[in-house]
Structure 1
């Protein structure tokens, strides 16, 4: 942990900002996530590849009292459902240092890169993306992040990549499909350990554009239950995403 000014934090300068604005970096209550306190507070993760950005995000360099330096990357909640859920007050993402993660719907790897920072270099993040255009960016990001394995496949057919993916502790799903609960259930049956956890981002109008968002979310939670997922909490992703919710819970619990 960084020991410097603040609660386990350090003082630093924001890279690329005129005058080098002073910031203080403190641990967030979610392990592996931090808050940079300055003129405006920002969610950040410790950069696993110092000096490199993934999506032109700002970087913050912190010098600790012992002279060591740490670089953090600002995490944009308008470009990451996971960051939006954290700022929305989710109690537990289960994505933490040492957790093995399967990320469905990885897109260009914006969120995956921050998950890579959080879990650390000694465990794997499996990132599945169907689009070859987004997949190119994902593959390029993974070249510099040795803990990310990019998989350019359709998440609806996990049998196609079953030889590439080991058992995981957490599945994060951002697959905007009407049958997304079933897709996550299929992947969980292959890869998610019993008692493991899930996070799913639900886009209401992708499932039913005529029903109220809350009704769609409730219906999806019922579908998740049928797939052996027990939902524990739900947060809206407003103001970062409209009519989105993130649901978190556990898989194949003994009391189900």
Structure 2
């Protein structure tokens, strides 16, 4: 079993990415549970979680520890957020989701996991939930909208700590289905640089996701 650098409680076990289960015996999305060395681990499925896909594809350069605060934009039903919850055991995961249907599923996950906070909000309007969210060590964005990078930047401007990290899963086909994904990724990275952020790392998500790019940023000094 190999520890993933920078991410407390995240390991590579038998070619699978796993997190130490915050709620032993409880599954979130039917994931496999593994007992090892007196602890229970949840398999983090890269075909169900873009963050898992990015980590397995070699994304490195950011830190998550038990006390980290994370703002998650586009939390959906809580699959990835639940694994982040495993990592930030004494911290918080603020889960912004716009769909009432997804929010109902997310709330059920949050009932079991006390460090997850569900917010039925529009991620493009961060001022609407500004009083409900602490400054974040990580702003994570998985929102399939044409202006996904713009709303990511607005949320980082509102909530990201000076030494924090931003991680966006850019979905090229949600921005423009007619253009080359490679050109779109380059343009979105340029928008981040123009807004005062430097690129720490970026990786594609194949074979788990098509036409996606994970881009990790931090404020330029």
TM tier, shorter chain? over 0.9
Structure 1 stretches of 4+ moved >6 Å: none
Task: Work out the CA distance in 2 between the residues paired with 1:110 and 1:94.
Answer: 20
Residue 28 of structure 1 pairs with residue 14 of structure 2:
no
**1:172 maps to which residue?**
140
1:76-95 equivalence runs, <5 A: 76-95=45-64
Q: CA RMSD in A?
A: 1.3
**Partners of 2:147 and 2:197 in 1: CA distance:** 15
Question: Which residue number corresponds to residue 131 of structure 1?
Answer: 99
TM-score for both structures, normalised by structure 1? 0.83
Give 3-state SS (helix, strand or coil) of 2:42's partner. Answer: strand
Cα separation, 2, equivalents of 1:227 and 1:108: 30
1:50 to 12, 20, 24: 24
Q: Any unmatched runs of 5+ in structure 2?
A: none
Give me the whole-angstrom Cα distance separating, in 2, the residues matched to 1:220 and 1:240. 21
Tell me which protein shows more helix as a share of its residues: 2
Partners of 1:188 and 1:105 in 2: CA distance:
14
Alignment of 1:193-208 (within 5 A): 193-208=161-176
Select the structure with the greater relative contact order (CA < 8 A; seq sep ≥ 6): 2
Structure with greater Cα Rg: 1
Q: Could you tell me how far apart the structure 2 residues matched to 1:249 and 1:241 are? A: 21
Are 1:217 and 2:185 an aligned pair? yes
| TM-score (norm: length of structure 2) | 0.95
2:82 aligned with 1:113, yes or no?
yes
What is the Cα deviation at residue 179 of structure 1? Answer: 0.9
Aligned length: 220
Deviations 1:40-99 (A, max 9, x none): x2111000000100001110012x3xxxx2110011000100000001111224333322
Distance in 1, Cα, partners of 2:67 & 2:139: 14
Structure 1: segments with no counterpart, 5+ residues: 1-24
Asked if the contact 1:126–1:150 (Cα under 8 Å) also holds between the matched residues in 2, the reply is: yes
Q: 1:104 matched to which residue of 2?
A: 73
CA distance in 1, matches of 2:171, 2:108: 28
Task: Give per-residue Cα distances to partners, 1:167-225, cap 9 Å, x unaligned.
Answer: 11110100111111110121112211123211000011111111111100000011112
Residues in 1 aligned to 2:144 and 2:63: alpha-carbon distance in whole angstroms: 22
How do 1:140-151 residues align onto structure 2 when only pairs under 5 Å count? 140-151=108-119
Cα distance between partner residues in 2 of 1:205 and 1:162: 30
